Every structure is written in structure tokens, then in C-alpha cells.
Structure 1
């Protein structure tokens, strides 16, 4: 605002000067030859020089002094105006003239101040321009210095592309490269020249290899065209072959040869995973040669298996390509360049990431194999259907079993032919579940937060069966190792062929033995409440009141009677366990029977407790019970009487109870009507141990009992 007013005052002063100039020019006649003078410019120049000669402080004092004079004149004029006289009027006029001069002087001082202000402003602007110019020049210099610093850093960090090229070593270079390229007289002493020569030799070799590659590519395309032509020719033969096959069907039917079915089966068999394929081929061959009753088939979705196979091929090709790129990257690494900057080299490496979820763990291969194993040649016995599944995520085989065209009867007998337990411990007496847990399976289960028991339980829930050790052996898998002993495994087809007959025979023997055991247990259930039925002429006096299955926990709860068998590992959770109750009068015998999974290789074991006369007798506190257990568990003709061994043992148990009660009555001289002497003894007691006569001796048409 001040600047605007100053400019307006300058403009008014200039206009007034121009007006005075015009007035003076009008009043004065200028000669025709007078030199034109710019009075305004001269005045401005004079005032500028005057402003330079005198300081602003002097002008400020002069300004104050002039103002004081004007005040005095104004006061005097005001006083004179009150006198109202002619003299006062003249003085007023004179003072007005003086005041006008003072006003002119104030204007001049104002102009001089403006001149000084404009000169200072111009000087300030000039200095600002100088400062801005210097600052801009400084910024340019700093930018150039930073740019040069970066250029220097890039030069220090520069790595030429030839450093990533794996060149031949110097000795081989001088041996193979021609002298026109190697120039040994120059390159041996000049490292840079030697590097250039080696690069030139590398370029020469690569050009030769490129030419060779082009030649081979041309040959490859030629071979591919030839293959395509032959493929088209073979495809054109397909209709002719189909027609030929249709025309030969009557001959196939006449000769009972089903070639098409075999071809289709072989085509599907190629889609099986390797373990199932090994099992299928060996089982089919064994069934064809040795046992025609074994029926082996492939079950599953063929289309899904083809899709899975194509997916696996694509993944394998990708993995192989990744491996090749890794190998090439490793070959390009130069050990001489190892240092702080070696990690900056870009090597494309394949990272294997196996995403395993709980759903994938329980997802089997789309195809499975099933073979049916009959217990007997006739159709009277059960037929066991065994299905093999392969779990790709865990790389082992599971087995699901079930009975076909056979309905079990009874309560205790039904557990004998339980499909989920019938093939337990086929090779060993140990539980097969944990034997398949090789490290990969354990790590996978740990990753999914699954313990083995939960995992095997979920396998059953998904209808996948159990991963038996013998199933892995049958399929040629060789990673199974038991916790206590190394289980024989097989990795090649010859060893698997040797194993198949052994395993199949054991399976057939197991099924046949279980069917015999089933019939025995079923017969024992029918004897409940009638002790003399089926026992021959020497009928026992006691009766079979109960024959029921029990669990291993219930068996183990009878600590005093059964603990020694469990401690000696004669009875495990895989055994079939039963509870028999024999009653005669007030006497009661509890028999706890354990049947081994390897029956009939091992005889059933009885553990006995006897409640008589208010006392509870066990083998641990009574020699009589110990002898009774020995007599029941030691059947000399056990292996010749596999079909009725339990009935024989029950008969011995019943006769032993009768003998104990009758001899005990004799010992106590009891005349109770409850006990009637029905047995004939040579000696009631014998020896220092007072042994009782449990052993049976035929005496013509009668039976005599004597000590063991």
C-alpha cells in the first residue's frame, strides 16, 4: 500500500513538473536553433546525486525542522486572522508564500526519500538476484557431485556379464584354442587380453554348438515327421484290427479264450500304482497256477485314474525341469567369486512344497484290487473278500476285509469271524499297526497333529481297513521295520513272488482255522444249560451255565487268575477272550479262555478260579487248581483235534470240577445229599502233594480216574 502511494505521489510530481514545463515553454519563446534540454531528466539526475551526497538522517532532521516551521506559520496565520487588519492580511500573504516554499521543500525531501528507497530496493533486488544465482549454481554443483559419486559407486559395483560365464580353464584354453585366438605371446602376460581371448574362444565354441544344435533339431523334426506318419498309418489299421477281432469272436468262444477281457484288464492294470500292480500280478499268477478258487479283480474309477496319472506326469516333468535348472545353476557358480557380494547372484532354484492336508491323507488311489479267498473248496464255509487300497500321501497300502455270502450266528461265535480282526498278527504276534509308521508317516501325522491311534481309528471310519505288515510285503514295499524286530521286506519282484505263496497260504490257513473255531464256539453256546449234551457216555454232573466273550480289559481285571499270562506275554489284546461258568450245586468254576490269533498253532489257555465251601481257590493259592489248569491246557492230541479242541478242554474242565467236588467231599467225610459219588478212582489222593485223580484211563467199557 505504501509503494502504491509512493508511485502515485511520484506520478503527481512528474505531472506537475511537466505542467510547469509546458507553462514555461508557452510563456517563453524558444529560438529556432535552441538545443532541446530534458529538464525533467536533469532534475531527476540532480536529485539522485543530491540524495547520494546527503544522508537520510540529515533529511529527516531537515524534515522535522520544516514541519516545526510550518506549525509556527500556521499558528501565526491563525493569530493574524483574528486581528482583521490590512497589515495582518499582508503578513498572512507573505507567510503563505513562505509556507508554500516550505511545502515545496517537504515535497523535495519526500522525493529524495523515495529516490533513496528506490535505490535501496534496486540494490536489494540486485543482491537477491546475485544470491539466487549463487544458490542455483551451488545446487547444480551438489547435484553434479552426487551424480559423479553414484557413477563412481556403479563403477566399483560393476560386474560384467562375462563373469557369469563358466569359461574353460586356462590350461585347457591354451591346449585347445588355435594360436590365432589364444595369442600366448601376448595373453600370458596381459590378464585383460587373456580374458578377451578366452571369451573369443567361448564365442567360437558356442557358435559351433549352435550349428550342431540346429542340425540335430532338423534331424529331430525329420524323425518326428516320420513318427507322425507311422502313427497315422497305425491308427488307420485300428478299424481293420477291430473288424478282425469281431470276426474271431466265435473262435474265441469255441476255444474258451477271452482275449478282449484280458486286454482290457491289462490296460486297466497299467493305471495301478506300483505297489498294487505288484500285488495284482503276483496274486493273479498264483491264482492261475495253484488255486483256481482265488478271484482277483481291479475295482475303481478308470477315468479318474487316467486323470491322476496325467497329473503326476506333468508334475514329474516340472520337477525334472527344475532339477536340471538347479544343476545348470550350480555349474555356473564360480568358487573364486565367493565373497560378500556372491549372494546377489540370481539363481533360480526349485522349492519343493508338499501341501498335505488331512483330506489328502485319507484319500486312496482311484483304483484298488480285490481278491476273494474261500475257506474251503465247497460252498459251505465263508469267503473272505480282501481289498487293497494305496494311500499316495503316505505311500503305504491298507487292507479292508469282509465276509461274502455268509451270515454268522450266535453271540460269542460272531466275534471269531470278525472281518476287522481276522487277519491281525498274520506274520507276528505283535500288533501290526505301529509297524508301518516309517519316518515320513510319523512326520506327516505330527504335522497334522494326529497320534497313531487316532489315525488308525480314522482309517477304519473311512472304510480303508488297516495297514498290515504282510500287506506291505505282498505289495513289495520295503520300509516296514518293527519296533522290536526287523520284519522281512521285499523290494524286487523275485522276492515278492517268493512271499506271495507264503502269505496266501497263511491267510487261507487262518480263515480255515477261524471257521473251525467258529463252529466250536457256536457248538459251545448251544451246550449252555445242558452239560451232558454231546459229552459221550461219561456225562459230567456239572453244567455249563455261561459262555460269553469278554474284552481284554475285563480279562485283565481278573488279576489273581490272569496276571501271570499277561505278564509273560502269553495273552495280548489281539487274543479272542471268553468267560465260561461251570456250576455243580453250590460250587462255581470261572474259566477265562484266551485263543491266540495264530490258532491252531497255539493251544487255547484256560485260567481258573473256583468258589467252593465259601473259599476262592486260584492257581496261586491251591495246587489242586494248578494241576487242574495243567490238565486242561495240556492236550497231547491237540494238533490232531483242532476241530474240537475247545470242546475237549471244556470236557476236561467239567470232569475236573466233578472230581474235585467228589474228592473234596471224601476228604471232609461229608455225607451231603448235594454230592453224589459218580466217579471211580484208583486213589483219591496220592503223594505228598495230595494230588487228585484228574486223568482218565479206559478200563474196558468203563472209565477210571487216576493222578496225572
Structure 2
């Protein structure tokens, strides 16, 4: 088509050039002009043909574009469907049934409660069985919810009934007061001591709630006479309580002024002044006196309540009625009250949320405890809080609120009495051994024979470092407990040229743990449990003695010492018999020093009729 137009244009140009030449030369050009005009008709026809072909080409192009757009749209729809299917696949993979978050019954509980339905689910698929189990548990939960609603309704009815009964009892108080006033002349004539009890009750009503509960419980125990010899009394006056209330009101009114002075004079305020101002015990406290069985000692417990700390502290004091000096036993009272129960040594304030309240006052629990111990107010043990009906949180973050106060108080007093008697016997034994005021030949503990050849020549106190340097397996097998302290001693036992050193460690939680003995024999060299099996057996024989093996009111330390001495005699007599030069003869009756291939010493003492011998 382009060539046709070009040819038409060329012919039209040639015709115009000829017409121009004819016109310039003056010849006639009308004929040529007519023929040239006819060329425009052919050009117009060619132009129409070109436009028609262009239009047909555009139509074909539009048709092809429409096909391409349609296929592209179809491909985009396919991609969208693919992405949607992928999302659905991921959603299906992450799908979890709602029962997965429910706490269902165990298989054992389900089979026990729905045993009759097992036949119905025998032929079901796993899915249908699971749906059936969910329906059963839903039915069970609805039944339990109905039971809970019923119990809650009955509880509300009981509370309302208790409230009605309380109101009825309170209505009796005015009538009882009138009756008491009207019968007062009769009381005076009969010399009844009702006024004394009235004065006592007037003091009791000023006690804080925890001390009030403790005092009433102690009074009931004393009147019930459960075998405990103690006497509770209230220390303080009513005027002190009233004065403290008045000072508290004055302090609240002058709080802003004091704050202004503290800001302007910060150097005058110290931590001690803040503690003294914040930690104020209640003016009234309880003094509890417990006597020992022989009436020679009395244990005095002072229980105070601290309003800021919301807890009670107990401080112990030991008094003696004879000339025996008990002031030297400095750790006796701390060990007595600090190990009544595990993980309860009074090194933290067992009140929930007290640390956050102290932080608002710029105080810490460590500072408060240090202030209480330094000023002799005692420690806030958990067992004291339970006696006063105070909820506690111990070191292991376990919440406890004792409700059976009568039973708990009796248990605490039984533990204190038992530990006090055990520690008094122990301190008497340690004191007698220190001053060697003990006759070993009269202390048989009803289990050992006569004829001791060794003698105790020294019993002294040593440091913990001196005890820990001893080489023994017993030290490596001990459990490390930071709250338990130890007191160490060194005893020297001599027989002839042989000497045995005994290193004794007494734990602070005695008698829950018994004293530990480590032995070292100096005779023909140094023998310990690490290089001599006989010494290891001697240590086991001494440390295996338990209080249950002895009689009532036993003296465990004496018994351990006696067993150590006579086992040392047996060691020298049996070991010396194998030496070339015999230094120690066999003085005790033995069935056999060694039986067969067993190289054990005959430490065990048996009685066959009237004959008493040692055997392995």
C-alpha cells in the first residue's frame, strides 16, 4: 500500500512539473491540467484503501489484545486461587480443636465414672468416641455446676442464720450487764473474785487482734490442763495504749511539718531514727513462762506485735533457780526456737506483700530484722504467726494460714518442751565433759559392760575451720544447709602410748540431727578412716547410735563417748594381738576376734544368759 501511494505522489509531482514548464513557456496546459486533476481521484481512492486497511489492522490488533487480556486475567485468577489454597492449607495445619485447651479427666477417672458407656463406644471411630467423651464431660460439668450453685446457696443461708444468731446473742449483753450490777452485793457477800476477772478482761480488750487470739488460746489451754506447765500474762498498762493512740494522732497532724524539717535538715535524720520511729511495738505484750520438769529452769517467752510489719516476734530468756551458770550457753535459745520446723529460722518477715510496703517507706526487711535482733525483740518465726492466726508465706513461697489454733499451739509447746529438755541435757553433758566432772565407770547407759581401759584427758572447744580440715568421707557426704550452724569440740582419749583424737560437731537442730564424730588414732603412725578400715568402722559404730536405742531421759553424748572409748579398747586389743611386740592384752571376752575372712572388729555386745561377750 505504501508503494501505491508513493507512485501516485511521484506521478502527481511529474504532472505538476510539466504543467509548470508549459506555463512558463507559454504553451497550452489545460489538457495536462485535466489529466493531472484526474490523478487526485486515484490518490483519493488509494487513501481510502489505506485507511480501510489500517482500520482492519487496528480491529485485528484490538481483538488480539482482548484475547491477551482475557488470558492474563485468567492467569491472575489462578494465582489468587493458589495463594488462597495455600493459606487454607496452613490454616488447616494450625487448626486445633477447642477441647485441646480444656483440662479433661484422665483415662482412669473417665473409665471409673463412665464405665457403663464403654459398651456404646466400642464400635465407634476415634473421632466419634472423642466427641462422645466431650459430651459426657460437658454433662458432668453441668451437674457439678448445679451442685456448686446449691452449695453456694446453702452457704449464704448459713451465713444469714449465723448473723441472726449473732444479733440475738448481742442482744443479751445489756441484760447480762444489768444482772451483774444487780447481783454485785451478793458477790461481795460470797467473796467472789469477779472483779479480778473483770480487770483482766479490761486489759485484754486493748490487745491487738493477733495477741488477743494467742492469749485467749493460751488461757484455754492452761485451764484445760493438757500437761503443759506454763503461765501467760499481759505486760503493760491501759494508759500506755491510750498514750500511744494520742501520740499517733498528734504525729499524723504534724506529719507535713516533720517532713519539711527532714527535707531541710537531711543530715540529722539517720536510718536508726527512721527505724525507731517506724518500728514501734504495741505497748502490751505477752509474757509466757514455761518450767522444766525438775523445776530448776524456766523458759520465758516474750511475744510482741509490730503494727508496721503486721507480724509478731518472740524473744526467749532462760532463768535458773540454782547456782548453775547458764549464761555461757549463748546459742542455746537461738537453736531452741530456730529449728522447731524446717526452713523456719526467722531470717525473713513471713508476711505476704510486706516488702513492697516497706519499699514505700524506704526500708528493707533486712534492716528491720537487724533492728529487731539488735534490740532484743526476737525474730518473726512462722510458727509464732500461726499461733496468732496470721497468714504467712515461707521461704519457699508457700502460703499458710493455720485454722486449728488449739491443736497447733499444743504441738508447738510439745516441740519446745522436748527440745528444751534435750538441749539442757546436752549442755549439762558438754559442761561436765569440759570440766571432766564425769565418772565414766558409772555411766553405762544400761547397754555397755564394765572394764574400760582408756581414759578421757581433754575436752575443748575448737573452731569450725579446725574441724573441716579433718580428712574423712563423712564431711563430703554431708548435706550443706546454710541455716544450720555447728559447734565443734576436740576430745583426747589415751591408753598407754596410744592416743585417739575425737573431733565432735554438734548441729544447731539437735536432736533432729545427732552429733557427728570423726576419729584419728595415733599409735604406730596416724590412722584415720581414709587409710584404715577399722577406724572407719569405729566411726560408723559411734555415729550409728540413735536416741531410740537408749532408755528414757538418755544422755546421747555420754553414750557416744562410752561407745568410742570401748571401741578404741577393742581396736588396741585386737590390733595389738597381731603385732610382734604385744603391748595390749585381751581383757574383754570375745567370741572371736575375727571370723573367717571378715575383718570386722567385735564391737557388738550380746548377752547369752549370764555370759556377756563381744561379737562381730
**TM-score after normalising by structure 2:** 0.59
1:390 aligns with 2:305: yes
* Number of the residue aligned with 2:104: none
User: Residues 624-669 of structure 1: CA distance to partner in whole angstroms, max 9, x if unpaired?
Assistant: 1221122112236436344222222211100011111222212223
Match of 1:693 in 2: 602
1:419 is aligned to 2:333: yes
Hey, what does 1:375 align to over in structure 2? 292
1:272 maps to 2:207: yes
Residues 571-625 of structure 1 deviation map (CA, whole Å, 9 limit, x = unaligned): 963455443332223333233334455544554432323333221412x333212
Equivalent position of 1:704 in the other structure: 613
Would the aligned equivalents of 1:386 and 1:402 in 2 still touch at CA under 8 Å?
A: yes
Distance 1:521 1:669 in 2: 40
- The 1:628–1:274 alpha-carbon spacing in structure 2 relative to 1, beyond 3 Å, is same
Contact 1:548 1:578 in 2 (8 A): yes
> What is aligned with 2:503?
592
Partner of 1:262: 197
Q: Secondary structure at the match of 1:476?
A: coil
CA distance in 2, matches of 1:638, 1:278: 41
User: For residues 55-134 of structure 1, what are the structure 2 equivalents within 5 Å?
Assistant: none
Task: Write the distance in 1 (CA, Å) between the matches of 2:465 and 2:323.
Answer: 25
Aligned to 1:248: 187
User: Per-residue displacement from partner, 1:62-119 (whole Å, max 9, x unpaired)?
Assistant: xxxxxxxxxxxxxxxxxxxxxxxxxxxxxxxxxxxxxxxxxxxxxxxxxxxxxxxxxx
Pairing partner for 2:350 from 436, 441, 455: 436
In structure 2, the CA distance between the partners of 1:448 and 1:677, relative to structure 1 (3 Å rule), is farther
Aligned-pair distance for 1:426? 0.8
Separation (CA, whole Å) in 1 of partners of 2:499 and 2:335: 32
Q: CA deviation at 1:362?
A: 4.1
Alignment match, 1:294? 230
Cα distance in structure 2, aligned partners of 1:427 and 1:649: 26
**1:390·1:397 contact (CA, 8 Å) conserved in 2?**
yes
Does residue 467 (structure 1) correspond to residue 380 (structure 2)? The answer is: yes
The answer to whether the aligner puts 1:284 opposite 2:219 as a matched pair is yes
Taking the aligned partners of 1:487 and 1:687, their CA distance within structure 2 comes to 59
The 3-state SS of whatever aligns with 1:373 is strand
**Superposed displacement of residue 289, structure 1:** 0.9
Distance 1:550 1:410, change over 3 A: farther
SS in 2 for 1:436: coil
Task: For 1:545 and 1:464, locate their aligned partners in 2 and report how far apart those are by CA, in whole Å.
Answer: 42
Q: Per the alignment, in what secondary structure is the counterpart of residue 640 of structure 1?
A: coil
1:392–1:572 distance in 2 versus 1, CA, 3 Å = closer
Q: Comparing 580-589 with 547-556, which one deviates more in the overlay?
A: 547-556
Matches within 5 A, 1:154-173: none
Is the alpha carbon distance of 1:358 and 1:546 closer, same or farther for their aligned partners in structure 2, counting shifts above 3 Å? Answer: same
Shift of 1:511: 2.0
Secondary structure of 1:388 counterpart: strand
Q: Which runs of 5+ in 2 are unaligned?
A: 1-173, 254-271
Q: Could you tell me how far 1:455 is from its partner in structure 2?
A: 4.8
Q: Corresponding residue for 2:318?
A: 403
Match of 1:477 in 2: 390
Q: Deviations over 1:115-149 (max 9, x none)?
A: xxxxxxxxxxxxxxxxxxxxxxxxxxxxxxxxxxx
- Deviation digits for residues 234-292 of structure 1 (CA, Å, limit 9, x no counterpart): 9xx99x98897477335235xxxx22222112111111122211111111111111247
Cα deviation for residue 363 of structure 1 reads: 2.7
The 1:435/1:496 distance shift into structure 2, 3 A limit, reads same
Does 2:275 correspond to 1:358?
yes
CA pair 550-251 structure 1, distance change in 2 beyond 3 A: farther
Q: CA 1:388–1:647 in 2, change beyond 3 Å: closer, same or farther?
A: same
Root-mean-square deviation (CA), in Å? 4.0
2:380 is paired with a residue of what secondary structure?
coil
Return closer, same or farther for 1:529/1:505 CA change in 2, 3 Å cut-off: closer
Distance across 1 between alignment mates of 2:189 and 2:236: 30
Cα distance, 1:537 vs structure 2: 5.9
Is the Cα contact below 8 Å between 2:351 and 2:391 reproduced in 1?
no
Provide the rounded CA distance (Å) in 2 between the counterparts of 1:661 and 1:410: 39
Distance 1:662-1:410 versus aligned 2 partners, 3 A rule: farther
Are the aligned partners of 1:417 and 1:514 in contact in 2 as well (CA < 8 Å)? no
* Larger of the two Rg values belongs to structure: 1
The match for 2:565 among 640, 654, 676 is: 654
Counterpart of 1:501 in structure 2 is 410
The corresponding residue for 1:168 is: none
